[in-house]
Structure formats: structure tokens, C-alpha cells
């Protein structure tokens, strides 16, 4: 996994929806074929990036509010970032 991969993935996610970013287990571990260690590093870099850009970041099991609804990050979701 390279920084280029990470930045291109971030750009792709922002282009899809800049207000609500979601990373799932399937897309990172299965589709992108990241190891558990690479996935952890990927999420750490993403967490720092999105927090520095004014997002609130949540991980599996965390509760968050979006569109005036309280939700929980599902088991198959690894990270959610919401623009504040």
C-alpha cells in the first residue's frame, strides 16, 4: 500500500459524496486486498486527514448523528467520516 493509493482512494470517496464518507470491510479487505495491518494504517491516515479537514470520524460500534438520526457504525463498516 502506497501513499498514492491512499490519496487516490480519499479523492475517489470525496468525489462520491464529500459530506459522508464510508469505508466498509468488503471494499478495503476484499476488493482492495489490504491486509489487517495495511487496513489499520490506511484508516489511521484517513482519520488524520478527515479530522484535519473538519470531519467527525467514527469507527465500528460508534454512535453518530446524521440527518437528525442517531445511527451506529455497523459491523461491516470500518470507518465513517461526516463533514461538520
According to the model, what pLDDT value does residue 31 have? 95
According to the model, what pLDDT value does residue 68 have? 93
Q: What's the domain range around 10?
A: 3-83
State phi, psi for 68 to the nearest 5 degrees.
60, 25
Instruction: State pLDDT tens for residues 17-65.
Output: 999 999 999 999 999 999 999 999 999 999 999 999 999 999 999 999 9
Split into its structural domains, the chain has a count of 1
Is residue 67 scored above 80 in pLDDT? yes
- Tell which residue, 15, 76, 8, 19, has the closest CA to residue 42: 8
The predicted model scores a pTM of 0.90
Q: How far is CA 32 from CA 6, 27, 66, in A?
A: 11, 6, 27
Quickly state the pLDDT bin for 1 (edges 50, 70, 90). confident
Amino acid at each position: 500500500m502506497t501513499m498514492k493509493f491512499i490519496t487516490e482512494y480519499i479523492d475517489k470517496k470525496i468525489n462520491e459524496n464529500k459530506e459522508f464518507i464510508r469505508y466498509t470491510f468488503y471494499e478495503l479487505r476484499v476488493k482492495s486486498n489490504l491486509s489487517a495491518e495495511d487496513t489499520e494504517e490506511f484508516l489511521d491516515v484517513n482519520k488524520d486527514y478527515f479530522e484535519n479537514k473538519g470531519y467527525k470520524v467514527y469507527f465500528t460500534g460508534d454512535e453518530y448523528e446524521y440527518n437528525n438520526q442517531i445511527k451506529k457504525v455497523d459491523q461491516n463498516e470500518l470507518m465513517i467520516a461526516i463533514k461538520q
